[in-house]
Chains A and B, each alone.
Chain A
Amino acid sequence: MPVIKDVVCTFCGCLCDDLEVTVEDNKITKVGKACKLGRAKTMGMFLHERIEKPMIRKNGKDSELEECSYDEAITKAAEILVAAKRPMSYGWCSTSCEAIEKAVVLAEETGSLLDSTANVCHGPSALATQEKGAPSCSLGTAKNYADLIIFWGCNPVHAHPRHQTRYSTMAKGAFTPNGKKDKKMVVVDPRNTDTAKKADLLLQLKPGSDYVLIESLRAIVNGHADILPDEIAGLPKAKVMELADMCKASKFGIIYFGMGITQTRGRYKSGDNVASLLSDLNQTNKFVMIGMRGHYNVTGFGQVAAWEAGFPMAIDFSRGSAYYNPGETGTNDVLMRREVDAFITGAADPGAHFPQESIKHLYKIPAIQVDGYANPTTEFSDVVIPAAIAGVECDGTAYRMDGQPIRMKKLIETTFKTDEEILTEIIAKVRELKGNGGA
């Protein structure tokens, strides 16, 4: 039976590209080498209930979704976006760069706000990078060189299960031929996570005190340990000194950081301060940082949006040119200000992952969902358009968490339209409704 090798996993930002997928009669029957997340994602369409048909609510949010044709759903979506004064497009991170490019065109065509799932993930990391830079490297370089691995506010055992074996702690590199034996591993987290079980050092800091800990490490690295109190961020000073010593003793250190940096007190200022700490350490050592990206192509959204519009997320096209100010134009800010009057989302699930106040507004405005599966977003969507699963039912390009583009494969045939096709058809319909169909 046919086994497709070197398949790219489309769950998290690791984009593992070594899966072995068995296909029988256009069905995926086995997924080799994947983690639990990758297996569930790759075999999803044979395990879970798909959105089988396009659907529309004809009489408001209280009415039931009724099946319709793709043409009807796409026309309705275009009508909603054209009629809106302040439309918003959100998500597009579990899909291909080719689809994201179309999402940018649609946003520009409709004068929309456009944002990615980074709004509730690594958005503050982008701000931190713009403030202070982000010394980085490829995961290949990290695998081969890094002898000190710090997981700060992230839990790869749960969120990026193969990260440690493929790229970090357990990986055998050119200069770390014995894998874990040649490396030190540190976890910084308020919880004693499953990742921390194998750590050489766990700094279980007080929730929300990341900035204080980073600043204290900077003080130690710069020779000012004497000014620090005995307790730092809920930790004994000696433990913080121990981490600083490990940093100074390493030949190549890397900080992998997650939502513990971006979602806690300080937000982007914590990521900004990580970059400053690395700048200090890089006076004598070699240190880099990489954000542990969640959606497999959220990095790709940042790339595509930046080369198309100049900004990586939270873009406002209402002025006719791209404007960017995340605290003002970020999805959750505009939803909580009750500012937008129409919403389109695809390859993301704001219904499950936005705070309650944002969702209350989504129940008040026309909403369009492009997705393969029913989820909380379906509950308030007025137009639901089923899509093929990128990386399984269609090919395309995605960017790994370290910014490397990787080509996703098509594994099986499908009758569902791709995100790219759906967006292309909505754009054509929008142009027709606006009277510039020939443009």
Chain B
Amino acid sequence: MIETILISARTIDQGATLEEKTSQAYFDAAAYCELNEGNLEALGVSVDQNVKVATAHGTVVVPAKIDARLPDDIVFIPMGPWANAIVDPDTCGCGMPGFKGVPATVEATTDPVLNMKDLMATYKE
């Protein structure tokens, strides 16, 4: 397991598939995380193997990819349902939840990645 900081943001593929969020293309564009190579090695995980990213606000399983230019202390997930499963809902009294800079841990897992509909269904209480 590594301790890191979660950042979520737009990517061009996530943006280009915004109007087709039920599609495989959107799933491929939004349901993954990026770490640098050293972090992936430390986790004993290869590209496209699943990892569990956890914060104080939830956990999500996504496949791992490499962004060689990421610093050691950042895990990146494109903005969307998978990132938002674990972002910080606290608005600090000004309306805006914490979509970036959320302390997180990452560990290898054999759990599956939920598709959009199954992920949303987990919010039924």
Contacts and interface: CB of A to CB of B under 8 A. Distances in A.
A-B interaction: yes
Contacts of B125: 360, 363-364
Contacts of B121: 379
Interface in A253-307: 259-260, 262-265, 267-268, 294
A260 B17 CA distance: 23
Interface string B60-103: 00000001011101101001110011111101111111111100
Contact of B21 (A191, A364, A375): A375
Contact of A359 (B86, B92, B123): B123
Interface residues of A, number: 67
Mostly, the B contact residues are loop
B20 A267 contact: no
B101 A161 contact: no
Contacts of B19: 40-41, 44, 48, 372-373
A413 interface: no
Interface string B37-70: 0000000000000000000011000000001011
Contacts of A265: 101
A396 interface: no
B124 A352 contact: no
Interface in A233-267: 259-260, 262-265, 267
A235 to B, nearest CB: 12
A62 B99 CA distance: 29
A191 B15 CA distance: 19
A34 to B, nearest CB: 11
B84 A353 contact: yes
A208 B80 CA distance: 21
Nearest to A326: B95
12 contacts: A40-B15, A40-B17, A40-B18, A48-B19, A48-B23, A159-B12, A159-B15, A263-B101, A363-B125, A375-B22, A376-B81, A379-B121
Interface of B: 5, 7, 9-12, 15-23, 57-58, 67, 69-71, 73-74, 76, 79-81, 84-89, 91-101, 116-117, 120-121, 123-125
